[in-house]
Amino acid sequence: MSTTIGVTYNRGVVLGTSSGMYVTELTDNVYTANDSQIVSNYVGYLLDQYNIQLGHPTTVKVSTNLVSNGKNRLLQTGGGQLIIVGD
């Protein structure tokens, strides 16, 4: 079992995990801690495309929706822990 914590500050969030998970950059301003690297890789690719097409950084809300959809599509069991933070 892993512990994941996100602490908010004036200028952002500090994200940490105890073990078994990785903190992964999805975009310059959105990060995730998860045990499902394939979902992070997939969503990171989609967010890069989103940023290029629209010409501005994505929001945490958009990132969260993509992670939710990607998680359900890529993981047959729907398992895995995901925490998404950003500004």
CA 57 → CA 2, 24, 28, 73, 80, distances in Å?
A: 30, 17, 8, 24, 26
Q: Which CATH superfamily is domain 4-86 in?
A: Aminohydrolase, N-terminal nucleophile (Ntn) domain (3.60.20.10)
pTM: 0.52
Structure confidence by residue, pLDDT tens digits, 54-84 = 898 888 888 878 777 766 665 555 555 566 6
Every domain of the chain and the residues it spans: 4-86
pLDDT tens digits for range 22-31: 777 777 877 7
Q: Could you tell me the pLDDT band of residue 53, with boundaries at 50, 70 and 90?
A: very high
